[in-house]
Each structure stands twice: as C-alpha cells, then as structure tokens.
C-alpha cells in the first residue's frame, strides 16, 4: 500500500510552469518557509537544489518534490561556511548545468537582551542571518555576471523594519538584509541581476511547532501561543502560512517581476501597517 503523507502545504496549488527550465537553490529548504517554497518551485517546473543542515524530516524535501513529478537534489549545506556555499553553487552547475535563482532563506534568532549575549551567541546569529547572505551571493554572482542574468531573494523579516523586544541580533541582521538587498540591486542591476528580499510577519512554521516539526497545525503550539502570535499580524489577526510567503518569493523570481529589484516585499497580515 502506498505510504500516505499528510499534506503539510494544503494551500499550494498545481503549478503553471512559471519556472520551467530554471535552476533554483533554496537554503533552509527542509522546513517551514524554505520547504513550502522549494515544493512550490518544484511544482512550477524548477530544478531545485534543496540545501539544509538537517535532513531527518520525512519525507525529505527533495523526495517530496520528486514524488510530485519534479526535479530536485538535496545538499547538506551549512550556510555559515563559505566552502559549503561554494559547494551548493557547484552542485547546481554540476547536476543541472546552470543556476538562475538563489533563495537565501535559512535564518536563526536568539531571544535575550543584548547585554546577556555571549560573543558566541551574537556571532552565531550574525553568521547565519547576515554573513550567509553575503557568502551565498558571493558564490553565485560570478556565474550570474557571466550569463548576464540572475535572481537573488533573501528572507528578511518585519523585524528588519520594526524592532521586537529581546531580539537584538535578529532585528539588526534582518534590517541589514533589507539594505544589503538595495545595495546589491544597484551594483548588479546593470548585469541583468535582480535582488529582492521578503519580510514575513508571524508565520506558522516548525520554529513554532516544536522540533522535529509536526505535520499538523494542532501540534506543538498551544492555541494561546497561536492567538498571541496571530494577533501581532494586526489586520488579519492570524498567523500566516509558509505557503503565503512562498507565493511572494515565486512572484519575485518570476519573469512577471522583471522590473522589480531592491524591493522588500512585506507579507505580514498587517503587522506593520499602523502607527
Ligand atoms: N516563521 C516566522 O514567523 C518568520 C518570520 C519572519 C522571518 N522568518 C525567517 O524565515 C526564514 C525561515 O524560517 P522558518 O520560520 O521557515 O524556520 P524553520 O526553522 O522552520 O526552517 C529553517 C530551516 O533552516 C535550516 N537551517 C538553520 N541553520 C542553517 C544553516 N546554518 N545552514 C543551512 N540551513 C540551516 C533549519 O535546519 C531549518 O530546516 C528565516 O530566515 C527566518 O528568520 C520567519
């Protein structure tokens, strides 16, 4: 009997071939926003290099994409290491012969006051959230310059636009990503390379559902926690779904967004709209 899988992404629709023939790298691809985006890219016809440091979640994202008829490989990549970032670009070029899209998504945060951080904790957040954006882009850009086209999207946060208590490294790095996006868009636009970032509000991902993540929303997070997180998204008053971010990323990397660059796309259920 075929194994039945709970569909963890019920909001994803069938693909329309919007990324047909494109090769995409996604970091943090085995969970949350990265996982939903990798799955959507696969459905839209992209060949996906799924990068993550953890591969124990079943089915692993590349298997999930292949089960749906898409093309994907998995690469065990730690985005905080330059050698790994170089290896993920090489994996795309060696396996699929090209690279069109880099989605730098993996991120981390430590909730405590600034004066309580050790150097190790501070550098951990800087390395994964900011330095990895630099390292991934540095590895991909020579290829993009050579082919005079390319697309980079990074995951920032509404906490890159507004502050959140007890989250100094996270807020600082996510704000840095927003302006690094603009800077890179200026430098590389003349080479046909677009660079954008996405700013999610509170999204229901395994970060909030316990680890390893549960496939259903009922597990790992109490209703009280969900209500509190959801109410921070002030207009829609619910947590967002990873699929709702994935569709924003899809727009940014698609040909329909050919005049969009240096942009921070906010998808936050209204979290940032009031004074
Ligand atoms: N969930 C939210 O509410 C929210 C809101 C705003 C921004 N974000 C951002 O979205 C991104 C994805 O978060 P998520 O909520 O989907 O989290 P998640 O924990 O569900 O997924 C993150 C994935 O990144 C991987 N990862 C962590 N460190 C890594 C490393 N060094 N190298 C490679 N992979 C690594 C993890 O193994 C995990 O699979 C992050 O950048 C996060 O800051 C999330």
What are the helix (H) ranges across 97-222? Answer: 119-125, 132-147, 168-188, 206-209
The pLDDT, as a whole number, for residue 216 is: 47
Q: Is the pLDDT of residue 227 over 90?
A: no
In our burial notation (b when 16+ CB lie closer than 10 A, e otherwise), range 53-90 reads eeeebeebbbebbbeeebebbbbebbbbeeebbbbbbe
Catalytic residues: 170
Q: Is the pLDDT of residue 212 over 90?
A: no
**Ligand 1 atom closest to Cα of 108?**
43
Instruction: Decide: 136 in ligand 1 pocket, CB within 6 A.
Output: no
What is the per-residue pLDDT across 41-83, written as a single tens digit (0 to 9) for each? 999 999 999 999 988 888 999 999 999 999 999 999 999 999 9
Nearest CA to ligand 1 atom 14: 32
The pLDDT, as a whole number, for residue 4 is: 43
Give CA–CA dist 145/185, Å, rounded: 13
Give CA–CA dist 98/47, Å, rounded: 10
Closest CA to 106 of 83, 90, 130: 130
190 CA from centroid of ligand 1 (Å) = 31
Average pLDDT over residues 99-125: 95
The pLDDT, as a whole number, for residue 208 is: 62
Give CA–CA dist 266/76, Å, rounded: 29
Q: From the centroid of its chain, how far is CA 189?
A: 22
The pLDDT, as a whole number, for residue 187 is: 98
- Please compute, for residue 245, the number of CA atoms within 13 A of its CA located in the half-sphere on the CB side: 31
Instruction: Decide: 203 in ligand 1 pocket, CB within 6 A.
Output: yes
Instruction: Decide: 34 in ligand 1 pocket, CB within 6 A.
Output: yes
What is the per-residue pLDDT across 251-274, written as a single tens digit (0 to 9) for each? 999 999 999 999 999 999 999 999
Closest CA to 36 of 273, 267, 271: 267
Look over the chain and give the mean of its residue pLDDT values, rounded to a whole number: 92
What is the per-residue pLDDT across 230-242, written as a single tens digit (0 to 9) for each? 999 999 999 999 9
Q: What is the DSSP letter of 134?
A: H
What is the per-residue pLDDT across 133-143, written as a single tens digit (0 to 9) for each? 999 999 999 99
Supply the pTM of this predicted model. 0.95
Q: 23-267: which CATH architecture?
A: 3-Layer(aba) Sandwich (3.40)
């Amino acid at each position: 009997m075929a194994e039945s899988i709970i569909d963890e992404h019920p909001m994803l629709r069938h693909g329309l071939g919007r990324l047909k023939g494109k090769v995409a790298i996604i970091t943090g691809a085995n969970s949350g926003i990265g996982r939903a985006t990798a799955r959507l890219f696969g459905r839209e016809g992209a060949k996906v290099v799924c990068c993550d440091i953890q591969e124990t979640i079943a089915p692993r994202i590349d298997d999930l994409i292949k089960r749906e008829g898409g093309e994907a490989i998995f690469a065990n990549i730690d985005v905080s290491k330059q050698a790994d970032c170089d290896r993920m670009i090489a994996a795309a070029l060696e396996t699929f012969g090209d690279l069109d899209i880099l989605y730098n998504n993996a991120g981390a945060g430590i909730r405590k006051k600034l004066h309580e951080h050790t150097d190790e904790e501070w550098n951990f957040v800087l390395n994964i959230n900011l330095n990895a954006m630099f390292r991934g882009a540095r590895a991909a850009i020579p290829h993009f310059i050579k082919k005079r086209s390319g697309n980079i999207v990074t995951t920032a946060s509404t906490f890159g636009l507004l502050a959140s208590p007890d989250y100094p490294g996270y807020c600082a790095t996510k704000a840095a990503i927003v302006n690094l996006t603009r800077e890179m868009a200026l430098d590389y636009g003349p080479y046909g390379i677009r660079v954008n970032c996405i700013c999610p509000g509170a999204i229901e991902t395994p970060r909030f559902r316990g680890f390893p993540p549960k496939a259903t929303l009922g597990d790992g997070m109490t209703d009280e926690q969900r209500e509190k997180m959801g109410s921070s998204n002030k207009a829609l008053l619910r947590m967002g779904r990873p699929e709702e971010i994935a569709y924003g990323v899809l727009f940014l990397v698609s040909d329909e967004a050919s005049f969009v660059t240096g942009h921070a796309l906010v998808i936050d259920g209204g979290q940032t709209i009031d004074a």
